[in-house]
C-alpha cells in the first residue's frame, strides 16, 4: 500500500517585490542578488498570518478534489512561522476552514518541513491512522525577516502550498521511498536566537534584534550543497533509478547554485529541474509544494512520473522523497 497526493494548490500574496526595491535602502544590487541566488522577485504578505496564506490554498485544494470538508480527518502544517507558539497553526486552519472531523498538529523542520510532513502523512495513511490528510507547507518569512540586513532581506518570501494525501489506487504510485536526516550541529549556523524557552522575549532581545533570522550563509551553503546532493543521489541509487528515469528533481528553493549542484550530482539536466526561485525567493516550507502545484497546473506532470523531492534547511534537517506522480484520477 502507498499513499499519494490526490489534489494540490498554492497561494502567493499579490505584492511583488523586485530586487530594485532593496537598492533604495541597502548596499545591494539586482545583479548581485540574481547571480548569487537566482532570485529576481518575491512576494510579501502585507498583513495576516501564516494561516491566512494556507486557507485560500486549502479551499482550492479541497474544491479541486471534489470532497466535503468533513472528509478531512487530519491537518498537518509544516512551518517555522506559526501564527502562535500555541495553539498550533493546524488548529487555527481547522477552525478557519471548519474541518469538524479533523485532528492535527504542526511540524517544525524549516526548509525540510514539507518533506518531513509528507513522509509523516504518508505513514499515517499507510497505517490507517488517517484517510485524508490536509498537508500544508507555509511560511510568512517576512514576519521574522530583518529587512535592513542585506544578508537575509533579499532571500526570503511568503507563500503556501497545500495538498491532500490519501491511499493510492495503485500500489506502485505515490510516495515510494524517503530518506530523512537531522543533525543539531547545524543549529549554530541558522536559527532564531530569542523568543523560545532558551531566551524568552524581553526588551533586551528586541533591542538586540534577536527575533529575526540568524544565518551564516556560507556555512549553510557548504553543508546544503553536500547534503541535498548526497541525499538525492542516494535515493536514486536505493531505488535503481538512472537519470533518464527521473522526470523532475523538485528541490527546495534556497539558492539556484545549490539546486544546480544537486542536479549535476544526479546527472539530471536543468530542463528536468523545477525552478521558481526567480519569482518567489525562499518560502521555506512552501517551496516544494508550490513547485509541484505550479507544474501540475501547467499540465507538465503525467501519471507515473518519478519526482525526486529534495530539501535542506535549519536544524540541520535534510531529506528526499521519491514520489511517483498519481492524482488518482
Ligand atoms: O533555506 C534555508 C537554508 N539556507 C540556505 O540554503 C542558504 C545558503 N546560503 C546561500 O545561499 C548563500 O550563502 C547566500 C546567498 C546567503 C550568500 O551568498 P554567498 O555567495 O555565500 O555570499 P557571502 O555570504 O560569502 O558574502 C559575500 C559578500 C560579503 O561581502 P564581503 O564580506 O565579501 O565584503 C557579503 O557581505 O557578499 C556580501 N553580501 C551582499 N552583497 C550585496 C551579502 N549579501 C549581499 C547582498 N548584496 N544582498
Query: What is the tens place of the pLDDT at every residue in 127-161?
Result: 999 999 999 999 999 999 999 999 999 999 999 99
Does 116 score more than 80 pLDDT?
yes
Indicate whether residue 105 lines ligand 1 (CB < 6 A): no
pLDDT score recorded for residue 299: 96
326 has catalytic annotation: no
Indicate whether residue 30 lines ligand 1 (CB < 6 A): no
Does 108 score more than 90 pLDDT?
yes
Tell me the C-alpha distance between 45 and 207, whole Å: 24
pLDDT tens per residue, range 224-248: 999 999 999 999 999 999 999 999 9
Q: Choose the residue to mutate in 149, 217, 290 for probing ligand 1, maximizing ligand atoms within 8 Å of C-beta.
A: 217
pLDDT score recorded for residue 104: 98
Ligand 1 centroid, distance to 221 Cα (angstroms) = 9
Ligand 1 centroid, distance to 217 Cα (angstroms) = 6
At 329, is the pLDDT very low, low, confident or very high (cuts 50, 70, 90)?
Answer: low
Tell me the C-alpha distance between 106 and 95, whole Å: 14
Fold for the domain defined by 174-324 = Peroxisomal Thiolase; Chain A, domain 1 (3.40.47)
pLDDT score recorded for residue 49: 98
Indicate whether residue 235 lines ligand 1 (CB < 6 A): no
Phi, psi dihedrals of residue 323, rounded to the nearest 5°? -115, 120
pLDDT tens per residue, range 258-292: 999 999 999 999 999 999 999 999 999 999 999 99
Indicate whether residue 221 lines ligand 1 (CB < 6 A): yes
CATH 3.40.47.10 positions along the chain are 3-167, 174-324
Does 298 score more than 80 pLDDT?
yes
Which residue's C-alpha comes closest to atom 35 of ligand 1? 151
Ligand 1 centroid, distance to 218 Cα (angstroms) = 7
Does 328 score more than 90 pLDDT?
no
Contact status, residue 104 vs residue 75, Cβ threshold 8 Å: yes
pLDDT tens per residue, range 188-221: 999 999 999 999 999 999 999 999 999 999 999 9
Does 11 score more than 90 pLDDT?
yes
Mean pLDDT, residues 171-177:
96
Indicate whether residue 318 lines ligand 1 (CB < 6 A): no
Q: Which of 88, 255, 282, 296 is catalytic?
A: 282
b/e map of 57-86 (b: 16 or more CB within 10 Å)? Answer: bbbbbbebbeeebebbbbbbbbbbbbbeee
Tell me the three cell numbers of residue 154.
533579499
pLDDT score recorded for residue 285: 98
pLDDT tens per residue, range 58-82: 999 999 999 999 999 999 999 999 9
Ligand 1 centroid, distance to 279 Cα (angstroms) = 19
Model pTM score:
0.97
Tell me the three-class secondary structure of 59-87, residue by residue. Answer: HHHHHHHCCCHHHCCEEEEECCCCCCCCC
Q: What is the mean pLDDT of the chain?
A: 97
Q: At what angle do helices 89-97 and 50-65 cross, to 10 degrees?
A: 50
Which residue's C-alpha comes closest to atom 15 of ligand 1? 37
111 has catalytic annotation: yes
Query: Does 3-167 carry CATH code 3.40.50.620?
Result: no
282 has catalytic annotation: yes
Amino acid at each position: 500500500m502507498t499513499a499519494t497526493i490526490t489534489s494540490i494548490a498554492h497561494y502567493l500574496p499579490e505584492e511583488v517585490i523586485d530586487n530594485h526595491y532593496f537598492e533604495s535602502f541597502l548596499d545591494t544590487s539586482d545583479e548581485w542578488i540574481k547571480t548569487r541566488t537566482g532570485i529576481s522577485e518575491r512576494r510579501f504578505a502585507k498583513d495576516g498570518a501564516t494561516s491566512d496564506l494556507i486557507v485560500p490554498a486549502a479551499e482550492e485544494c479541497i474544491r479541486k478534489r471534489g470532497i466535503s470538508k468533513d472528509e478531512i480527518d487530519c491537518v498537518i502544517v509544516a512551518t517555522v512561522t506559526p501564527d502562535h507558539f500555541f495553539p498550533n497553526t493546524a488548529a487555527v486552519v481547522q477552525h478557519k476552514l471548519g474541518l469538524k472531523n479533523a485532528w492535527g498538529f504542526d511540524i517544525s523542520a524549516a526548509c525540510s518541513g514539507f518533506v518531513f510532513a509528507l513522509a509523516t502523512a504518508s505513514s499515517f495513511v499507510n497505517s490507517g491512522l488517517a484517510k485524508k490528510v490536509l498537508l500544508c507547507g507555509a511560511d510568512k518569512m517576512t514576519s521574522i525577516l530583518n529587512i535592513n540586513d542585506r544578508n537575509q532581506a533579499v532571500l526570503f518570501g511568503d507563500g503556501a502550498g497545500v495538498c491532500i494525501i490519501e491511499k493510492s489506487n495503485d500500489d506502485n504510485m505515490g510516495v515510494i521511498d524517503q530518506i530523512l536526516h537531522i543533525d543539531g550541529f547545524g543549529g549554530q549556523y541558522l536559527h532564531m536566537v530569542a523568543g523560545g524557552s532558551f531566551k524568552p522575549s524581553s526588551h533586551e532581545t528586541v533591542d538586540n534584534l534577536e527575533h529575526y533570522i540568524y544565518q551564516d550563509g556560507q556555512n549553510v551553503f557548504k553543508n546544503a550543497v553536500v547534503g541535498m546532493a548526497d541525499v538525492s543521489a542516494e535515493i536514486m541509487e536505493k531505488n535503481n533509478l538512472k537519470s533518464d528515469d527521473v522526470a523532475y528533481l523538485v528541490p527546495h528553493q534556497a539558492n539556484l547554485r545549490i539546486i544546480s549542484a544537486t542536479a549535476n550530482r544526479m546527472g539530471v539536466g536543468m530542463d528536468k529541474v523545477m525552478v521558481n526561485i526567480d519569482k518567489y525567493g525562499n518560502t521555506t516550507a512552501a517551496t516544494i509544494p508550490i513547485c509541484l502545484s505550479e507544474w501540475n497546473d501547467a499540465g507538465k506532470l503525467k501519471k507515473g512520473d518519478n519526482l525526486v523531492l529534495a530539501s535542506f534547511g535549519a536544524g540541520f534537517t535534510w531529506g528526499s522523497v521519491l514520489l511517483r506522480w498519481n492524482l488518482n484520477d
